[in-house]
Structure 1
Amino acid sequence: MQQVISVWVRDPRIQKNDFWHAYIDYEICLHTNSVCFTKKISSVRRRYSEFVWLREKLEANSLLMIKLPDLPPKNPFFSLNNARQITERMRGLQKFLEQILQSPLLLSDSCLHLFLQSQLSVAKMEACATGRTPFSVTQAVQRCGLRRFHSDEELHKSMSLSCDCDSDSSECTDTKSLVLNKSQSAALLRYPGLNQEDSELHQ
């Protein structure tokens, strides 16, 4: 059976830490029938700085055996009120993940699975990936609740995936038939309206 991994980065939202500090996070939606993933459908939210952390971890863990794709550059003039900048960054983040998910070597990395399929903080992801938590990577992924982001009817129409096979993400070996379905990604990707009320703040 052909293995499919589809990923979307969408739904940018402004999150406020306090009156003076805010940032944007993005929803990462994943659909797959790959044996590399414990959970076949997932949805989490991540911010740009967490993408930076992920790239650094993947680069360190792969021991520079592969060249990682670049993230969209950090813009010192990035504005939470600029819809064009936000959309460009979102598309760049999706492209980064699409390229990452085409690498069999990276698919075995625990940090990637925690980033994509758990809502753990950076500190807790690092601890979990190095065995310093009372729960395993697989348990962290399984505990993360699925937030529905489109109807079952849309899901069945757009993806014909078998979700019967579960395996530990650290035991991925057969990834030769990995396919990234970009046409389906384009069909489902949506860009909701952005909140224009917040003042200009750095991410």
Structure 2
Amino acid sequence: MREETEDFGNQQVVCVWVRDPRIQKNDFWHAYVDYEICLHTDSVCFTKKMSSVRRRYSEFVWLRQKLQANSLLMAQLPELPPKNPFFSMNNAQQISERMSGLQEFLKQILQSPLVLSDSCMHLFLQSDLSVSKIEACAAGRTRFSVTQAVRRCGLRRFHSEEDLQKVLGMCCDSDSDSSECRDPEPQIKDYGNKQSGEHSST
């Protein structure tokens, strides 16, 4: 699933897609699903033009709350997919729907120039910091800056920017008029076959 937002005035493109859901286990009893966020852009707003990080649903909730707390950003932020008390890590359809909703949320907020100036948003998308460390870094309470935190986060899936460029070339026809491109990994893996009735809303 891949979405583009484009600033036609400056011809700057931000491509973002959410994919590759995986079950992560904290311990024997607690598990959650996280998702890969891939970003490809030529926008001067971003420190890195290509990045890949993993985030879970609760971190998206945190991001929206942080952006909403700044009333100067938007009168109304787009909604996240609703929290489902019956969300199951064994249900591929539920995970696919949540993944689509998370991507649509990112697509919409990245259309706002004011959101693009928010340090927490950049650290969320382009660093591997936890939400508590993101807050500390954005407030200047860490030894490293926002830019340093972003630069030290490597591409998880791709060994180099050239590798990511090849994937982008395979999944998107440059001559197409559509802003939506095929996901290089359209099939959701059987990530729940080893789970027995585990349910989570995070």
| TM-score normalized by the length of structure 2 | 0.83
Which of 179, 183, 192 is matched with 2:180 structurally?
Answer: 183
Q: Is the 8 A contact 1:26 1:47 kept in 2?
A: yes
Q: Deviations over 1:2-57 (max 9, x none)?
A: 10000000000000000000000000000000000000000000000000000000
Q: What CA deviation, in whole Å up to 9, does each residue of 1:50-80 have, x standing for no partner?
A: 0000000011124464310000000000001
Compared with structure 1, are the counterparts of its residues 138 and 191 closer, same or farther at alpha carbon in structure 2 (3 Å cutoff)? farther
Q: Partners in 1 of 2:60 and 2:90 — Cα distance?
A: 21
1:50 aligns with 2:63: no
Match of 2:3 in 1: none
After the TM superposition, which residues 81-160 of structure 1 pair with which residues of structure 2 at under 5 Å, given as runs? 81-149=90-158, 152-156=165-169, 158=172
Residues 191, 100 of structure 1: CA spacing in aligned structure 2 closer, same or farther, 3 A cutoff? farther
- Tell whether the 8 Å contact from 1:10 to 1:191 is kept in structure 2 after alignment: no
Equivalent position of 2:43 in the other structure: 34
Tell me the SS of whatever aligns to 2:137: helix
Aligned residues: 182
SS in structure 1 at match of 2:27: coil
* Alpha-carbon separation, structure 1, partners of 2:78 and 2:90: 27
**Aligned-partner Cα distance in 2 for 1:69–1:49:** 16
Determine helix, strand or coil for the equivalent of 2:180: helix
Paired residue secondary structure (2:106): helix
Counterpart in 2 of 1:59?
68
Change (3 A) 1:191 1:108: farther
Displacement of 1:192 after TM fit? 3.3
Question: What's the offset of the Cα at 1:146?
Answer: 0.8
Q: Amino acid of the residue matched to residue 59 of structure 2?
A: E
Structure 1's unaligned 5+ residue stretches are 161-180
| Residue of structure 1 equivalent to 2:31 | 22
Q: Structure 1 length normalisation: TM-score? A: 0.83
Contact between 2:73 and 2:114, CA under 8 Å: does it hold in 1?
Answer: no
1:102-149 CA deviation, whole Å, 9 max, x = no partner?
011101000100000001001000000111001111100000011235
Question: Which of residues 10, 13, 16 is equivalent to 2:22?
Answer: 13
Cα distance in 2, alignment partners of residues 22 and 77 from structure 1? 15
Partner Cα distance (2:61, 2:190) in 1: 23
